[in-house]
A and B are shown apart, each in its own frame.
Chain A
């Protein structure tokens, strides 16, 4: 029972480098989400995909892009990394987009930008 799988688990980048965070879920969920978690700020939504083929901005989308590759996979791309993007990134999925659905989280990607 893998659930939500995120790769890589850790990454160190230099300012200006680009990278893509990968996320895949095996629960046949329709909706997927990307969050960042910073100390004292809880989880903040970066982008979400309510269903395959759609993506929308969340609370803090600047500096990021996403791709819903298929129903299983939802990737997050940093085109030109900045130190302010140092954070722990979580991918989550839910059965669908209606309210009160539990969100299932991966174990996170710890990203440091030097």
Chain B
């Protein structure tokens, strides 16, 4: 069974600080997606990474896919209160389908 562990589970920081969220597995994924979920809403896709070592940037968010395609990280520079939410990574199940395995989630609170 493929598992995705995220760390930390909870993170409370001040506006302007930097942070990194990790998504780790013992399994190889052909792609990883990152979603953000705000209270009372469903997850919204932020990015998909498909190549080992790939780095993608979305404004102040930087996503990296590990060389061995077993892990990924999300780095936020100068966090803002609008970044508050639950961050979820999700990997494909290896069957070339769109069936996803979701990580356990990181709950981020950015205090003004």
**B104 with A41: CB separation less than 8 A:** yes
Complex interface: chain A residues within 8 A of B48 (CB): 100, 102
The answer to whether A44 touches B102 (Cβ under 8 A) is: yes
- Are A42 and B102 in contact, CB atoms less than 8 angstroms apart? yes
Per a CB cutoff under 8 Å, which of A31, A50, A92, A98 touches B42?
A: A92
Determine if B66 is an interface residue (Cβ-Cβ < 8 Å): no
From B44, B50, B96, B103, contact of A105 by CB (8 A): B44
| Number of B interface residues in the complex (CB < 8 A) | 26
The answer, yes or no, to whether B43 is at the interface (CB within 8 Å) is yes
The number of A-B residue pairs with CB atoms under 8 Å apart is: 65
In the assembled complex, A43 has its CB within 8 A of some CB on chain B:
yes
Question: Closest CB of chain B to A91's CB: distance in Å?
Answer: 8
Chain B, range 29-47, C-beta contacts under 8 Å to A: 30-31, 33, 40-45
Given A103-B45, A106-B42, A108-B42, 11 additional A-B pairs, CB 8 A: A44-B102, A45-B99, A48-B99, A50-B97, A92-B42, A97-B97, A99-B31, A100-B31, A100-B98, A105-B42, A107-B41
Q: Which 4 interchain pairs have the tightest Cβ spacing?
A: A105-B42, A42-B102, A43-B102, A102-B45
A-B contact pairs, 16 of them (CB 8 A): A40-B104, A42-B102, A42-B105, A43-B90, A43-B102, A44-B102, A90-B43, A97-B97, A100-B50, A102-B33, A102-B45, A102-B48, A103-B98, A105-B42, A105-B44, A108-B42
